[in-house]
Structure 1
Amino acid sequence: MHSQVIITGGGIGGIGAALMLGRRGVQVTLLEREPELTEGGFGLQLGPNITRMLKQEGVFDSIAGGMVFPKRLAFRNATTGEFLNFLDCDDMERRYGSRYAVMHRNDLLQALAQGARATGNVTILNSEKVVDFTDHGDHVSVATDTGKTFTGEVLLAADGIHSRVRRQWVGDAVVPTGYVAYRGTLPGDRVSADFDFDDLTLWMGPGLHFIQYGLRDGQELNQVAVFRSPGYLRGDEDWGGPDELAERFAGTFPPVEEGMRGLSMVRGWPMADLEPLDSYTRGRIALLGDAAHATLQYLAQGAGQSLLDGASLARHLSVLGDAPWSPDAVAEAWAGYEADRVELASRVQRTSRFWGEMWHVDTTGAIIVRDQLFRITDQYDYKIVDWLYGPVVDESAPMPLLAATAER
């Protein structure tokens, strides 16, 4: 089977790229190793920069039914419970032309897959594990464990943080942090009546944080607990287990400690990222998503940045026309993709590390300084996020300043 584009990996990045390419008339074959398309984890966040792009790509309406749109991003101290500040999502929509959204990861994946198939240009093949790939100069070939060989003009490697393609190019390893995440959802009828489903709440504590927000029109509460593992710091072989989770969150503010008990206690997800790269392409092969720029989740941009990759690749590859694509034409498309993505995605990686350090400070002095910085920051001063959520579409005066400590 010969396609214009072969994609390896059926996660959000790979499927999103397939959809946006297919909508532009590009023939795509996507190979996924698992027997079904499914996303691990639970909720995800899509900033205004991502929802605006999805509108521009014409795919927002098809997935918006599964979205929830918070009114505030609220920041609180996980030990004392103090409400520190918030970002106003209504005003963010005015400034950036689109809304902050959250949704279930698998809901997003299935909506993207349905849209990709509906283009008539995308073939999704499950149970096809890639075992080899070759850049022949004038085309690429991919071999799978079923004995099949697929050929295409280019290969897009969306095969995750442990990317086989990246390992052959760079030979680097994931960068562990010693933090582990536990995720889970609660049915809406089991959530305290005091919980405000209009808020996405971040609780920050010493060496830990806790995030809560509603999913599926308030039918579920998504929760994520992240903490620095004492076992990892000691060099233990087995670290980050449920016993450490309970120990680290003992004594936090009651809604945090109670919420932690509603998590999946079977296993945690060790948190790691990759070092930024200067290039995502080589020959007829390009990396996208976590294979290119795996990032820590503190800016809530991992899935969104992979979707931005797909949009950029679709724009630059769709203008190449019918096969065959010359090496010069592919090189020009890759240059456009890297100009769009490398600098910004690398900044997201680096800034995410910084925000994680700030959230998790664990000395008394550092906690006092962090909380005071949150208290005194004007909710409508967007200097620290314009680079991420921009471009700004409305530079008029923001809403009148609200008191940062005001509770609704």
Structure 2
Amino acid sequence: MTNVKKAPFVIVGGGIGGLAAALGLAETGRESYVLERAPEFGEVGAGIQLAPNGTAVLERLGVMDEIRKFAVFPKRLVLMDAFTGKELTALDLGEAFLKRYGHPYIVLHRADLHKVLYEACEAKGGITMLTNSEVEKVEDLGDRAQVTLTDGTIYETDAVIGADGIHSKTRKLVSDDHPVCSQYVAYRGTIPMEEVVETAGTDPDDVIMWIGPHLHLVQYPVRRGELYNQVVVFKSFKYKSGADDWKANDWGTPEEMDERFANACSYVQRAVSFISRQFRWAMWDRTPISNWTNGRVTLLGDAAHPMLQYMAQGGIAALEDVAHLTNMIHKYGDDYATAFKEYQADRIPRSASVQTNARLWGEIIHAADPIAILLRNSIFSRRDSFDVSHVDWLYSKRYPDLSPLKSSR
């Protein structure tokens, strides 16, 4: 017998974007169900960087005070040459930066951010969070929406937000596209801060990206500076195009990682030796699409606009989605079809630009042609550390005051 349940508003996916969306809906006075397919709520991965366009949204959602207990406020974003060990350029994140954008640049453990959002949802009330709820199908029925789980449970609801990641089931309602493999693979992990080896030209409080042909290493402190986050990324030349089950193929292995970093400077080689080799992640994105919405169903976060990590904007883009979607629901009330269309009209051009620029930035930092490297490094060397001209379009994005609009409900 079919188990049909009523739900006021369904959010598919209990990650950072899904939980933030639940808080946004609560701001409009709406209750929601958050459906998470895993046995428990949690976040996979290690560190996350949040620029001012992300921390502004967290401030609006009322969680920044709690996040400050876990976050680290880095002094600079630094690009280093992974082979020569020389600093190429940096962006100062100090007083002038904070004054310009009004919100800080922070780094923290993804699990800490998720925990803060989860606890805020628990404290808010009106947010029901359900585990072991894998979605099979999402449908728009005109006067309502419907979510069917793999166990046969059906939720009839006023509207649905698909925040179910790059392999989104909700996205199938609006697009039959597929993720695109970049041929790059990432190894992630944290080590105790006391194991970090000091080296000339770096500061443990900086966010450092060591770059080289077809590879990079990212490092920064998390969890109040108690842990040091490291991400090792490289392009695999053993990748076979069209291989969907990438783990079953012999590419992106630890042995290939060691081979790729064999000629890096001694500090980078030592850093790579600390990385956990048990798990690896292929790096995927999708090509931007022109529509995220079907009636009472819309997409958010990686379900809408999965992007490569090179600009550190993936999680932030989901938070921007939440801010604008919340504003549109304030404005249009229960006319969800209109609210969703207005939401995507603003967000699709913005997120598509970030997606395509992330791909471009990957080409720049991973350049292998000697002339391209020389040109890039020459441009970097002329930059002033207080010059924000290349990031201002990202960090200065604001929605109306980023404060709640008067609800039409």
What TM-score does the superposition give when structure 1 sets the normalisation length? 0.91
Is the contact between residue 25 and residue 318 of structure 1 (CA under 8 Å) also seen in structure 2? no
- Classify 1:284/1:391 alpha carbon distance in 2 versus 1 (closer, same or farther; 3 Å): closer
Q: Superposed, which structure 2 residues align to 1:327-338 within 5 Å?
A: 329-338=335-344
Give the Å deviation of 1:312: 1.7
After the TM superposition, which residues 99-114 of structure 1 pair with which residues of structure 2 at under 5 Å, given as runs?
Answer: 99-114=104-119
Deviations 1:232-254 (A, max 9, x none): 16999421111111110112011
Q: Is the 8 A contact 2:91 2:387 kept in 1?
A: no
Gaps of 5+ in 1: 393-408
Aligned equivalent of 1:24: 28
CA shift, 1:167, in A, is 2.7
Q: Secondary structure at the match of 1:17?
A: helix
Q: 1:71 aligns with which of 68, 72, 75?
A: 75
2:97 aligned partner: 92
Q: Which residue of 1 aligns with 2:250?
A: 238
Q: How does 1:326-365 map to 2 (within 5 A)?
A: 329-365=335-371
Which residue among 181, 185, 198 is the counterpart of 2:205?
198
1:137 maps to 2:142:
yes
For residues 6 and 26 of structure 2, the distance between their equivalents in structure 1, rounded to whole angstroms, comes to 15
Q: Which residue in 2 is equivalent to 1:401?
A: none
Which 10-residue stretch deviates more, 75-84 or 55-64? Answer: 55-64
Alignment check: 8 A CA contact 2:23 2:61 kept: no
Structure 1 distance, partners of 2:327, 2:157, is 18
Residue 124 (structure 1) aligned with residue 136 (structure 2): no
8 Å CA contact retained: 2:63, 2:116: no
Task: Kindly indicate whether the alpha-carbon contact (under 8 Å) linking 1:185 and 1:223 is maintained by their aligned counterparts in 2.
Answer: yes
CA distance in 1, matches of 2:290, 2:153: 33
CA distance in 2, matches of 1:148, 1:116: 24
Letter in structure 1 aligned against 2:218: I
Tell me whether 1:208 sits opposite 2:215 in the alignment.
yes
CA distance in 2, matches of 1:169, 1:50: 27
Q: How large is the Cα RMSD of the aligned pairs?
A: 1.7
1:385 matched residue in structure 2: 391
Counterpart contact for 1:182–1:265, Cα < 8 Å: yes
The alpha-carbon deviation at position 320 of structure 1 amounts to 4.9
CA pair 69-249 structure 1, distance change in 2 beyond 3 A: same
Q: 1:5 aligns with which of 6, 9, 12?
A: 9
Residues 239 and 346 (structure 1 numbering): CA distance in 2 closer, same or farther, change over 3 Å?
same
- Could you say if the C-alpha distance between residues 275 and 391 of structure 1 is closer, same or farther in structure 2, counting changes exceeding 3 Å? closer
CA contact (8 A) 1:19 1:113 kept: no
User: Which moved further from structure 2: 54-63 or 5-14?
Assistant: 54-63
Structure-2 residue corresponding to 1:405: none
* Residue of 267, 286, 293 corresponding to 1:255: 267
**Which of these residues, 173, 180, 183, is aligned with residue 185 of structure 2?**
180
Amino acid at match of 1:347: S
Question: Please, which of 212, 228, 232 is the counterpart of residue 235 of structure 2?
Answer: 228
Matched, 1:266 2:278: yes
Distance 1:21 1:235, change over 3 A: closer
- 1:173-219 Cα offsets, whole Å, 9 max, x none, are 11111111111111112111446222111111011011100011221
Provide the residue aligned with 1:403 in structure 2: none
Task: Check conservation: 2:162, 2:300, Cα contact below 8 A.
Answer: yes
Task: Report percent identity of matched pairs.
Answer: 41
Larger mean CA deviation between 177-186 and 133-142 belongs to 133-142
2-side partners of 1:49 and 1:293: how far apart?
17
SS of 1:251's equivalent in the other structure is coil
> Which of residues 372, 375, 390 in structure 2 aligns to 1:366?
372
Say whether 1:165 aligns with 2:173. no
Structure 2 residue matching 1:30: 3-state secondary structure: strand
Quick one: distance in 2 between partners of 1:345 and 1:112? 23
User: More deviation in 372-381 or 298-307?
Assistant: 372-381
- The CA distance in 2 between the partners of 1:381 and 1:48, in whole Å, is 16
Q: Structure 1 stretch 308-317 or stretch 174-183: which is displaced more?
A: 308-317
Unaligned runs of 5+ in 2: 244-248, 399-409
Distance 2:135 2:241 in 1: 37
Shift of 1:119: 1.1
Q: Aligned to 1:46, which of 30, 36, 50?
A: 50
Contact 1:242 1:267 in 2 (8 A): no
Measure how far apart 1:117 and its partner are: 1.6
| TM superposition shift of 1:386 | 1.2
- Aligned mates of 2:147, 2:204 — CA distance in 1: 46
Match for residue 396 of structure 1?
none
Aligned residues: 386
Q: Which runs of 4+ in 1 moved over 3 A?
A: 233-237, 318-321
Question: In 2, Cα distance between the equivalents of 1:78 and 1:178?
Answer: 20
Cα distance in 2 for residues equivalent to 1:336 and 1:168: 18
Return the offset for 1:220: 0.6
Partner of 2:406: none
